[in-house]
Structure 1
Amino acid sequence: MAWAQAYTTAWQVARPFPPVALPVGNAVGHVLAAPVEARTAAPAFDAAAMDGYAVAGAGPWRITGRVFAGHPGTVPPLGHGEAVEIATGAQVPAGTEAVLPYEDCHRDGDAVSGTWTARTHVRRAGEDTAPGDLLVPAGRIVTATAVAAAAQVGVERVVAHPRPEVDVLVTGDEVVLHGSPGPGQVRDVFAPVVTAIVERAGGRLCTYRRIDDDPAALRAAIDAAQAPVLVVTGSSSAGVADHLRDLLDERSATWHVDGVACRPGHPQALARTAGGRWVVGLPGNPYAGLVAALTLLEPLIAALAGHRPRPLPSAPVSGTAKLFPGGCRIVPVDTAGDGARILPGARSGSLRAAASADALAVLDAAWATGAPAPLLHLP
């Protein structure tokens, strides 16, 4: 399958999980399935916008009391020519026409005089937000700022799509997850990459396990997985130790992507079992696996989380690359400035070049230096 088709397929085959009602404080990172509307006014009451004196009528004013933010009980109304000393955020007494800041006032005992300008320094109830006003539209990600704004106007629950949960199975007798590798062994490199991509796309990593190159072990691990998305690394090719295809065929899986015409990252896969679990197969080579995760895993998770498909950014790419006549060559680039510059040394089994890049450029067979290409931003 062509790379662009594979990327689009991962977006299109998945549907967002059904929405649920969540406490607003637990909704950060979720995509809204319904708009958030204000339940109460903001401000909820007429409040002082400055420290100073709340006054009524013409001055000078007789000071009748003092009001702080959170003052309990009812504040007596102000009559003509009266004032109360007041703090920012405190509820102004009924009858208040303005708050005079300290710096604009002169106090003499129980009397205060000052200049009353066009600015009243009173925040009137509902002047920012009225009940029913739209706060955040559907389709937006719930941010911490949105949560704070929602709390300000009485919102306690929101309707959002659940964040997809992901289990990861790392296959390979040679792979170690912790400690120093021994002779013939390599340290796992997928944990930080897959975790970051899943989180960025709106998902949540649940379990991360290593499985021996044994079909029975992989079969048992697939059957034991609980998350709706399963990522399997290192078993998606056609080698003697690659068992994913046969095991998924046993489970009557539907194959949406079975190999992609790109270098590196050709043996990547996207399937769905008869039971409804999504399975993403990533090549075992580190750079190839990174390419595949950005090609299939990220758009799949984003679609399940409720994100809408969005076009990839592009930029003019300069440098040299060995193009792949049958598809795309995917190279690490530095995007400083107006364009992107190819970084040398990219190899399927090495992340050295990608470590100093901030994106991967997808170069088709007709690309020439200076021509634009799609960019995949690195996590």
Structure 2
Amino acid sequence: MAQAQQMRSPEDYLARLLGTLSPLAPTEVPLAGAHGLVLAEDLTAALPVPPWTSSAMDGYAVRAVETVGADRAPVRLPVSGDVPAGTAPGPLAPGTAMRIMTGAMLPEGADAVVRVEDTDQLPGQAPLPPVVEVRTPARVGLNVRRSGEDVAVGEPVARAGTALSGTVLSSLASVGLSAVRAHPRPRVAVVSTGAELVDAGAPLAPGSVPDSNGLLLTGLLAEHGARAAALLRAGDTAADLARVLREAAGEADLVITSGGVSAGAFDPLTMLAACPEHGRGTSLSFAKVAMQPGKPQGHGTVRAQDGRQVPVIMLPGNPVSVLVSFTAFVAPALALLSGHGLQEAAASWRPWPDRRASAGATKAVK
């Protein structure tokens, strides 16, 4: 049954709405499909970064002690081989150097890398020289990145609640992870109410109007990281609306309706809430919110055929009211379902103080 309407502040109504929702249950997702999701667990490194001790420069791997005095007189060392990135070199023979690329594994026995600029060789592609002339003495650890110096195995790398951006996913891959547990994108079904609605571009019979709200809401859902599970229409009867809502809930985590939440004689959502026959399985609550446009609002649940109680957010029918109401109430709800915290979701909008209903209108801003 419908609850009695009462004037509420936008903040109070939003708090009540968000209080009925919970983040969607997390699932395991490969990194390649996790962009934009919210992490559901703390993560630690499975690999060290760097994974092995490597060169930080293009140059020559050496034993530092064998380059002492190179600033006074160049030290000539036979070049025993190349170390490209991605290869496992053999050990460095005493009294020799190896040409090494940036990121390549440091050979056993080497403890420093002399930059190519500090030798007699030119940077760039060239045959392997038989001898390199080192002109600057090296110290132990020069131009060397030690295994694990950035991140050690077991070190925390991401906390639950982290939004999985491209940079975060790249970091997780670098520490040996291939999948994460994350909250899925909400599946949202959109229901436009009104027997007068027709497809965009269709000929208009007397009294009919194009359904612009359906396109508006599916577009806004995509822009907020949700998936449109269905785009449906319902007529102005409780029976038809009940049927469409059950269909909408079948593949959705959330149902959004537009229109039919005011005090009109043929507003289908308020009729459904008052109809014992067709209202079974639905629990709908309506409120007047101190904002304009968007004063009539509602939320509740509808029982899907699989028994799930799927949340419903009911918006007014005017397209401007839909846009404002989506920003004020639906966007925070999507944030909460996606795994963002309650406080973060509630902080995703604010009203202009001089645009509340008492002053004539409300504008919600991100």
* Structure 1 partner of 2:242: 219
| 51 and 284 in structure 1: CA distance in 2 versus 1, 3 angstrom threshold | same
TM-aligned CA distance change 1:276 to 1:244, over 3 Å:
same
The one of 226, 230, 238 aligned to 1:203? 226
> Which of 64, 67, 70 lines up with 2:80 in the alignment?
64
Q: Which structure 1 segments of 5+ residues have no match?
A: 332-359, 361-375
1:269 and 1:103, CA in 2 relative to 1: closer, same or farther beyond 3 A? same
The corresponding residue for 1:312 is 347
What amino acid is the match of 2:170? A
Which one of 309, 312, 329 corresponds to residue 276 of structure 1?
309
Pairing 1:285–2:318 present: yes
**TM-score w.r.t. length of structure 1:** 0.77
Is the 1:56–1:79 Cα contact (8 Å) retained in structure 2? no
Whole-angstrom CA distance in 2 between matches of 1:156 and 1:135: 14
| 2-structure distance, mates of 1:21, 1:43 | 26
Return the match for 1:25 from 7, 11, 32.
Answer: 32
TM-score, normalised via structure 2 length: 0.80
For 1:229-256, what per-residue CA distance to the aligned partner results, in whole angstroms no more than 9, with x for missing partners?
1111122223244212333451353345
| 1:40 equivalent in alignment to 2:73 | no
Structure 2 portions without partners, runs of 5+ = 1-7, 68-74, 122-128
Q: Which residue of 2 aligns with 1:133?
A: 155
- Please tell me whether the aligned partners of residues 114 and 134 of structure 2 are also in contact (alpha carbons under 8 angstroms): no
Shift of 1:67: 1.4
- Code of the residue aligned with 1:230 in structure 2: it is V
1:347 corresponds to: none
- Determine which of 292, 295, 314 is the counterpart of 1:266: 295
Equivalent-residue separation in structure 2 for 1:164 and 1:67 (angstroms): 49
In 1, distance between residues paired with 2:267 and 2:214? 20
- Aligned twin of 1:113: 134
2:178 matched to 1:156?
A: yes
Q: CA offsets per residue over residues 281-333 of structure 1, 9 Å max, x none?
A: 11110111112212321222222222112363799969xx67633x87313xx
The structure 2 residue matched to 1:303, chosen from 336, 346, 353, is 336
Q: How far off is 1:125 after superposition?
A: 0.8
Task: Name 1:146's counterpart in structure 2.
Answer: 168
The CA deviation at 1:257 is 4.7
Identity %: 32
The alpha-carbon distance between structure 1 residues 296 and 315, as it changes in their structure 2 partners (threshold 3 A), is closer
Q: Does 1:231 align with 2:231?
A: no
Provide the rounded CA distance (Å) in 1 between the counterparts of 2:196 and 2:97.
80
Match for residue 96 of structure 2 among 82, 91, 115: 82
Letter in 1 for 2:246: D
AA partner of residue 14 (structure 1): L
**2:142 partner amino acid:** T
Distance in 2, matches of 1:280 and 1:317, equals 23
Answer with 216-225 or 250-259: which moved more. Answer: 250-259
Is the 2:120–2:133 Cα contact (8 Å) retained in structure 1?
yes
- Does the 8 Å CA contact 1:19/1:162 hold for their aligned counterparts? yes
Distance 1:314 1:155, change over 3 A: closer
Q: Using CA pairs below 8 Å that are at least 6 residues apart, which structure has the higher relative contact order?
A: 2
Task: Render the CA deviation track for 1:107-136: whole Å, top value 9, x for unaligned.
Answer: 474233131456722221111111111111
Q: Distance in 1 between matches of 2:138 and 2:273?
A: 76
1:210 CA drift (Å): 3.2
Instruction: Give the alignment of 1:145-184 within 5 angstroms.
Output: 145-179=167-201, 182=204, 184=207
Partner of 1:369: none
